[in-house]
Homo-oligomer: A and B are copies of this chain.
Amino acid sequence: MKSERHAMILEIIERSDVETQEDLARLLKERGIGVTQATVSRDIKELRLIKVLTDTGAYKYATVDKAEAGLKDRLIRIFSDSVMA
């Protein structure tokens, strides 16, 4: 079912850094859900997931609110560094 898959996708991207839709399809398959990149693309659209840069320079899929949290963390770190310096 689609809603189950959606839930699993959210779990997966929270737990690990997923760089591509192919990766996500592979991770779903490991969990017993066989779908192709085309379906993953549609799921990502429906879940309104976004692709963000991690601090290591790699891309990963995330929810908007998680991305916002990451942004806040980064700003705090930058601010702290500038104060300390």
Contacts and interface: CB of A to CB of B under 8 A. Distances in A.
Interface in A39-57: 45, 48, 50-53
Interface residues of A, number: 11
Interface in A17-73: 45, 48, 50-53, 64-65, 67-68, 71
Copy count, this protein chain = 2
Q: Majority SS of interface residues in chain A?
A: helix
Contact of A50 (B45, B65, B67): B67
Interface of A: 45, 48, 50-53, 64-65, 67-68, 71
Q: Closest 7 CB pairs between A and B?
A: A68-B68, A50-B50, A64-B71, A64-B67, A48-B53, A64-B68, A50-B52
